Amino acid sequence: MLILGIESSCDETAAAVLRDGNTLLSNVINSQVAVHSPYGGVVPELASRKHLENIYPVVEAALRQAGVTLDDLDGLAVTQGPGLVGSLLIGLSFAKAISAVKGIPYVGVDHIVGHLLSPFLEKAQPEFPYIALVASGGHSSIFLVRDHTDIQPLGRTRDDAAGEAFDKVGKILGLEYPGGPVISRLAEQGNPAAIPFPRAWLGPDSLDFSFSGLKTSVANYVHQRQQKNEPFNIPDVCASFQEAVVEVLCTKVLKAAQMHQISTIALAGGVAANSRLRAALQNLGAEHKIKIFMPSLELCTDNAAMIALAGFYHFSEKATTSFDTDAYSRSPFLHPGPVFGGGSPKPKSPELSVEP
């Protein structure tokens, strides 16, 4: 089965061609970092406009690199949500147009599910069931993954996601955007124990996350020293902040694995590219005899390969999406109500109907 995946949930326009759920023929990503960098964050209207400019050439490049045409495709998979609605609508509308003109079935994919399944694009793949930690700019969540479409949320962020906190702290420190990679690089030169930034545990059995207080603590630390004209070491701030985030992420995902007696953990999302988090999880795995799986760096950030893969498994269950389906900004996997998988009844209709 040959699937074209399309991703446009935030500020990357991406397209990929996947064969039979295991052979990636192309994976094209057009980043908008240069567009949003002057503003210190993603500007939704600018992101939508750039997606509109980039969607056709990016899809064309993915097809060309894969050596296929639209007529060769068996299905289309496109990110339906969550994300910036204006950005999502560009990719979703483009996929609907191709589907209508060429008669190719399409399926709307949840962006988080794409991240959850991204480790299956690697040679070393986790076995079911496993615990997954998705850490990105918009999400910090823990899931119990029983199979490719049966996914149960166990914990989520209550305010700032881990990646969002990295970017906001980077802005507080006057670093270039995006802040995550810069903080990670500077942290290598700093002392992670230099500043006792707080950890929000939210109760002994909670698997939820909260990084807003940590971000505020960094802001207060910096502002107090600036007001008193006292010097502070930026690498130490970066290392101490990063360590606080990593400690909470690792502790909670380990707790989830122990609570459900599962010996496999998979990491995914943009923050999964953080070298300290990857090393800490590997150490945790060795200490507690837990198998750790994580995608390669190029598959951690937003990409269409993971969307094509998620689409492959939806098509395997005979699911398609109707043309009147809309984009959604909040994932049904993380909010009250029925979801696809996670112990809730799956749709009886052949259409995969995912409501916001």
* pLDDT tens sequence across 310-339: 999 999 988 889 999 999 998 887 764 433
Residue carrying the six token digits 């939820």: 208
Task: Report pLDDT for 341.
Answer: 34
Average pLDDT, stretch 78-94? Answer: 97
Contact 289, 11 (CB under 8 A): no
pLDDT tens profile 159-170: 999 999 999 999
Give the whole-angstrom CA distance, residue 166 versus residue 245: 9
CATH class of 124-294: alpha beta
Q: Are 293 and 119 in contact (CB under 8 A)?
A: yes
Task: Give the pLDDT confidence score for residue 345 in this predicted structure.
Answer: 31
Average pLDDT for 225-237: 96
pLDDT of residue 335: 62
Residue 255 has pLDDT above 70, yes or no: yes
Record the pTM: 0.90
Q: Where in the chain is the domain with CATH 3.30.420.40?
A: 2-116+300-316, 124-294
Helix (H, G, I), strand (E, B) or coil at 28: strand
In this predicted model, what pLDDT tens digit does every residue of 290-307 receive, in sequence order? 999 999 999 999 999 999
Strands (E), the chain: 2-7, 12-19, 23-31, 75-81, 106-110, 130-135, 140-145, 151-155, 264-268, 291-293
Nearest to 76 by CA among 3, 14, 149: 3
pLDDT, averaged across the chain: 91
pLDDT in tens, 158-207: 999 999 999 999 999 999 999 999 999 999 999 999 999 999 999 889 99
- Residue 347: the pLDDT is 31
Percent of the chain residues past pLDDT 70, beyond the cut = 94
Beta strands in 197-277 (DSSP E): 264-268
DSSP 131-175: EEEEESSS-EEEEEESSSS-EEEEE-BSSS-HHHHHHHHHHHTTP
At 126-137, the pLDDT tens digits run 999 999 999 998
Q: What architecture is domain 2-116+300-316? A: 2-Layer Sandwich (3.30)
Tell me what percent of the residues of the chain surpass a pLDDT of 90.
Answer: 87
Q: Please say whether the beta carbons of 281 and 265 come within 8 A.
A: yes
For the cut 70, the answer to whether the pLDDT of residue 344 exceeds it is no
Report CA 111 to chain centroid distance, whole Å.
7
Q: What angle do CA 118, 32, 22 make, to 5 degrees?
A: 20
Residue type, 202: L
